[in-house]
């Protein structure tokens, strides 16, 4: 090739490569089909385009070192759903169960380990309303006032909650108090769970609870029926009833001062009263005691059907404090009841007028210890033993040990 033609060819090739290497804006060429480097991706639950999501769903991040900081959840009509982060920012909890068979859009904001803010938007759809649902009953009334030992007691129906499912359920039982006091849950059985503070509630405490069971998977293919909310108050006056089998005396204390003593007759040797710390569960000015409700026919030698006045329930199996005019002669001397604490009609009326549901009753010196779950037995054990009955790790001394959503 002649030198002139070789030089021209080289110049032409240089021009071609120059055009291939730069565009008009002078940017670096990107080969067709090549993708740009991807930005950070958050692993969000519920997962992208997930279906059949329980209406109890919480928004969370899976694994990694990112920290959840903000969640915006909207329904198909772009209506925002209220909610709060848990105290440990492990998830965001909607204020109410989501709607069944509904599509939602969620935008998650997180902070990376390097402090960078990351946003991500996904969509999911909730499940249809299930047929197999579990009821729950709360033994506390809204806006009511209770004694200092009042536990928060939830009874689960339709088979209750098996041990393997208790942690998931317990994480949805939110309790806060003003002033804040350490507390924990204790499972007496599959059907009963109790919450109490470490010590008796402080006078005037305001209790707020949300038991977020609506749509929650509770095991056995069942789902919680509905959420339960409560706001209650602890009385400013502290009352305690003490019953001593050795002296056959009942002592009533108010704010640590003795206000009344009275003779009693407790359970006979055949039907002894329980010893331990109990809680007044209900107050009845009139009722009928029927032995057949506890498996003893009325017409049997041990059977009875008796109208009574001024009764305060202590156990599920039928031990009460109540007026018993038929045993006045024995009160203060011998035990003749079927396990109840017998007092005179006058003294029974005084107790009925003085106490509140939630007041503690301490019985000592009888033959049989109160069994766990036979009534509200939260205070019949040490704090260390009580917290062992939780399905979650033992709480510390923080005032909000149960995993409750924060106010943010």
Two tokens, residue 408: 């943010």
pLDDT in tens, 98-137: 999 999 999 999 998 888 999 999 999 999 999 999 999 9
29-38, 207-216, 255-264, 295-304: least confidently modelled range: 29-38
Q: What is the reported pTM?
A: 0.85
pLDDT (average), residues 136-153: 97
Per DSSP, the chain holds a count of helices (H) and strands (E) of 4, 30
- Catalytic one of 143, 271, 333, 340: 340
Task: Tell me if 44-126 shares its fold with 239-376.
Answer: no
More confident residue, 302 or 403: 302
Torsion angle, alpha carbons of 282, 356, 278, 164, to 10: 70
Residue tagged active-site, from 77, 143, 271, 322: 322
What does the pLDDT read at residue 153? 98
Based on its alpha-carbon atoms, the radius of gyration of the chain, rounded to whole angstroms, reads 33
Q: Is 322 a catalytic residue?
A: yes
Range 133-236 classified under CATH 2.60.40.3710: yes
The CB density around residue 131, as the number of other CB atoms within 10 Å, is: 8
Q: What is the mean pLDDT of residues 346-374?
A: 97
At a CB cut-off of 8 Å and minimum separation 6, what does 115 contact?
A: none
- pLDDT confidence band for 40 (50 / 70 / 90): low
Round the average pLDDT of the chain to a whole number and report it.
Answer: 88
DSSP string, 322-365: EE-GGGTTTTTT---BSSSEEE-HHHHHHHHHH--TT-EEEEES
DSSP letter for each residue of 64-99: SS-EEEEEEEEETT--EE-EEEBTTSSEEEESSPPP
Nearest Cα to 242, choosing from 219, 262, 222?
A: 262
Look up the CATH superfamily of 239-376: L,D-transpeptidase catalytic domain-like (2.40.440.10)
Q: How far apart are CA 146 and CA 160, in angstroms?
A: 26
Of 28-42, 352-366, 368-382, the least confident: 28-42
What number of other Cβ atoms are within 10 A of residue 191's Cβ? 17
| Share of the chain residues as helix, strand and coil, in percent rounded to the nearest 5 | 10, 40, 50
Q: Which of 276, 267, 283 is nearest to 352 (CA)?
A: 283
Measure the CA–CA gap between 209 and 232, rounded to whole angstroms: 9
- Check if 340 is active-site: yes
Residue 299 has pLDDT above 80, yes or no: no
DSSP β-bridge partners for residue 168 = none
Q: Take residue 93 and report the two structure tokens written for it.
A: 């909890």
The residues spanned by each domain of the chain are 44-126, 133-236, 239-376
Mean pLDDT of 66-77: 94
Segment 377-394 mean pLDDT: 95
User: Is residue 35 predicted with pLDDT exceeding 70?
Assistant: no
Q: CB atoms < 10 A from the CB of 308, how many?
A: 21
Give CATH for domain 44-126.
2.60.40.3780
Query: Bridge partners of 262?
Result: 250
pLDDT of residue 24: 38
């Amino acid at each position: 090739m002649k030198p002139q033609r070789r030089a021209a060819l080289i110049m032409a090739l240089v021009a071609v490569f120059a055009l291939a290497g730069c565009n008009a804006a002078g940017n670096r060429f990107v080969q067709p089909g090549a993708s740009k480097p991807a930005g950070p991706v958050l692993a969000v639950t519920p997962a992208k385009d997930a279906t059949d999501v329980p209406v109890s769903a919480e928004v969370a991040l899976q694994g990694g070192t990112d920290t959840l900081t903000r969640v915006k959840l909207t329904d198909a009509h772009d209506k925002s759903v209220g909610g709060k982060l848990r105290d440990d920012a492990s998830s965001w909890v909607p204020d109410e169960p989501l709607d069944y068979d509904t599509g939602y859009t969620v935008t998650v904001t997180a902070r990376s380990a390097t402090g960078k803010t990351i946003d991500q938007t996904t969509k999911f759809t909730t499940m249809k309303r299930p047929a197999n649902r579990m009821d729950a009953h709360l033994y506390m009334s809204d806006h009511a006032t209770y004694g200092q030992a009042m536990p928060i007691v939830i009874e689960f129906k339709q088979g209750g909650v098996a041990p393997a499912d208790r942690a998931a359920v317990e994480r949805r039982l939110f309790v806060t108090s003003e002033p804040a006091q350490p507390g924990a849950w204790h499972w007496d059985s599959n059907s009963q769970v109790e919450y109490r503070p470490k010590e008796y509630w402080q006078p005037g405490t305001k209790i707020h609870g949300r038991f977020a069971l609506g749509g929650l998977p509770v095991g056995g293919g069942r789902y919680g029926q509905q959420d339960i909310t409560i706001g209650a108050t602890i009385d400013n006056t502290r009352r305690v009833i003490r019953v001593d089998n050795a002296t056959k005396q009942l002592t009533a204390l108010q704010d640590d001062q003795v206000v009344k003593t009275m003779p009693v007759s407790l359970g006979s040797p055949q039907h002894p009263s329980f010893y331990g710390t109990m809680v007044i569960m209900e107050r009845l000015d009139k009722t009928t005691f029927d032995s057949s409700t506890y498996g003893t026919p009325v017409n049997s030698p041990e059977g009875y059907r008796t109208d009574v006045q001024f009764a305060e329930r202590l156990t599920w199996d039928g031990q009460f404090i109540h007026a018993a005019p038929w045993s006045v002669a024995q009160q203060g001397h011998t035990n003749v009841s079927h396990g109840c604490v017998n007092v005179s009609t006058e003294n029974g009326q005084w107790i009925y007028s003085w106490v509140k549901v939630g007041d503690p009753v301490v019985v000592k010196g009888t033959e049989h210890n109160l069994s766990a779950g036979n009534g509200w037995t939260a205070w019949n054990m040490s704090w260390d033993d009580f917290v062992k009955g939780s399905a979650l790790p033992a709480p510390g001394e923080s005032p909000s040990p149960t995993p409750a959503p924060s106010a943010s």
